Structure 1
């Protein structure tokens, strides 16, 4: 008896209807897709903890899932609230210090620095357009500083709005996570049943998605945390608010190629212009050799679970994911590449005889 399926016209109608219904469902959940994906990924990371909770409550799946979600809330939300409060306080203090520096003539003093004078002379000598006048730059900075308070209020309102959206998305993610933890066996069984692949191929595909999702989170976010901590230490030694600028360096580490240089280069130049040459050299050296080495060593180590993906593929998966999807693309990109690699290997296995024959022809 043949295992081949005879596709009838009714089957075609059913498949088309299923695809249309699936697309309609996707449109319904599209605004919340990031929360759903993050819930799926966090469920993979939380599952070892959830299994321990289930051992104590084997007959109470709802309660064990709820406890796991509460544990996650304590792990993530409360530390973040403390950090956000400290960031706002330190950022406000630093902004006031910069405002006072600008309004008391600090910008004019900086432009009188010998290095700045020489640099502007060289730039003006080779520029194909009008020369740069220090007075014009100082005037623009002064104009910006006069409206700095209004801009700061607007920025604070935006941060508050973003924080509110974050909390809403977080609790939506918790809601999805509850059901993923409670019904994980049913969900995996349903996925296996629907996929038209052999058990070994399903295992390979699901295992690869799990490994890549975990390594993408660990590789990107743990590297950002490590670079933020190291950068905060360097900034504190250089005299900057540690928590505020360490957090900024952590966020900047997500940007490919540039990374934390977006923060420490202007900070080093500021120290240099204000006469703190020793601290400027220290901050630049510390950022290059300590903070930079974390990105070069820790990220590849944490992302080594991307089986079948070399360093070049990982780089473009991160870069392309960030470009297409934003910050969440640091997870989407590697998963898309990894699934493609696994499907390509399955294709090679299924058509190995044909491909070998083509090589010989």
Structure 2
């Protein structure tokens, strides 16, 4: 071959081809189709992922103790989860439905009269308080009694009717529970491998991707510890206090306090404050005083003391963000929303924090260079004018 012969020119591959756009469109379509496919088990998948994130450190430590037996470690953690969390939750739900049914039956039979209780409170209020209430237009106590009484009755009826719903949907509940446990087992056993697969497929810069994954894990654990643990403790302590004071429906009130503890600031006070007012107004003075003191210094302090410790200062969201995210999550996703809402809000803030950190890092070399130039100028100025 002649040495002066030019080699074949290499054609540069275009940066973007039609086939690439077609593949991206197909990828998006298939992803949405898969999301639609698993939508009926959204709750089961969500709680499976959350359980795996929460118990993955325990599984890893247990596997190291057992000589690397991941199957056995994951199975033992799953049994522990089933015994300490899932079964007690099911028993609590059944007991709650039974107690609500009993209270609803007493109200329907006339043994308990909600309007009568409100009438007792009205009769015990001093004239100054009644005048203050009338200034704000709450003059028709009969209408107020009917509205409040019908609201409580309909709420108890809704909870009591869940017994029939649970009976009819037992098969779907068992299927969702099975999917959740099955998914949790594999995520506990092979979670790190699946995480690396997802991490490698994400179209993000490595530093942003790793920071986002770290934030997601921290946020899920902090949200669960800061909501579920505090809610369980506040509901448990509140139910015990109600039971010791002889208040009927202590289990129902305890569960309601635990649920309302998800709302910051107001939370459990929406339950124990009206009950304490009723006790004081009906002559049960010492029970009302004890309930007020217990609500302020025991039930309330659980949130004030434990939540910062469990959540941590760095991952704790502002109270107004938690309130809005929790209420919106419950409205959009049902019971799953109390974890979905705060997690989405926390990820929203975390992603904008990542953007801020990236911008600060990009400006740092320029600031360093400017500071060095300023130092050189000051040094030259000092040398030119030594006096």
**TM norm. shorter chain > 0.5:** yes
- CA shift in 2, pair 1:164/1:229, >3 Å: farther
- Cα distance per residue 1:174-228 (max 9 Å; x no partner): 1211221232232112112112345443332211111110000010101101111
Q: Which runs of 5+ in 1 are unaligned?
A: none
- Structure 1 residues 19-168: aligned runs within 5 Å: 19-55=28-64, 61-62=70-71, 64-92=73-101, 94-95=103-104, 100-102=110-112, 107=117, 110=120, 113-115=123-125, 123-124=133-134, 127=137, 131-132=139-140, 134=142, 154=161, 156-158=163-165, 167-168=174-175
C-alpha separation between the residues in 2 aligned to 1:108 and 1:255?
A: 26
Matched, 1:221 2:231: no
Alpha-carbon shift at residue 163 of structure 1 (Å):
7.6
Q: Please give the secondary structure, in 1, of the residue aligned with 2:283.
A: coil
Q: Pick one of 9, 12, 15 that aligns with 1:6.
A: 15
The answer on whether the counterparts of 2:262 and 2:326 sit within 8 Å (CA) in structure 1 is no
C-alpha separation between the residues in 1 aligned to 2:320 and 2:145?
A: 44
- Calculate the aligned-residue CA RMSD, in Å: 4.2
C-alpha separation between the residues in 2 aligned to 1:155 and 1:80?
A: 15
What's the TM-score, normalizing by structure 1? Answer: 0.77
Q: Please give the secondary structure, in 2, of the residue aligned with 1:254.
A: coil
C-alpha separation between the residues in 1 aligned to 2:149 and 2:50?
A: 47
Quick check: 271-280 or 4-13, which moved more? 4-13
Report how many residues are paired.
Answer: 354
Q: Please give the secondary structure, in 1, of the residue aligned with 2:125.
A: helix
- CA shift in 2, pair 1:346/1:251, >3 Å: closer
The answer on whether the counterparts of 2:235 and 2:255 sit within 8 Å (CA) in structure 1 is yes
Matched, 1:175 2:182: yes
Alpha-carbon shift at residue 165 of structure 1 (Å):
5.8
Alpha-carbon shift at residue 168 of structure 1 (Å):
4.2
Alpha-carbon shift at residue 281 of structure 1 (Å):
2.5
Residue 311 of structure 2: aligned partner: 303
Alpha-carbon shift at residue 154 of structure 1 (Å):
3.3
Q: Please give the secondary structure, in 2, of the residue aligned with 1:22.
A: helix
Alpha-carbon shift at residue 37 of structure 1 (Å):
2.0
The answer on whether the counterparts of 2:226 and 2:307 sit within 8 Å (CA) in structure 1 is yes
The answer on whether the counterparts of 1:306 and 1:338 sit within 8 Å (CA) in structure 2 is no
C-alpha separation between the residues in 2 aligned to 1:143 and 1:8?
A: 65
Q: Which runs of 5+ in 2 are unaligned?
A: 1-12, 371-387
Quick check: 321-330 or 230-239, which moved more? 321-330
The answer on whether the counterparts of 1:230 and 1:291 sit within 8 Å (CA) in structure 2 is yes
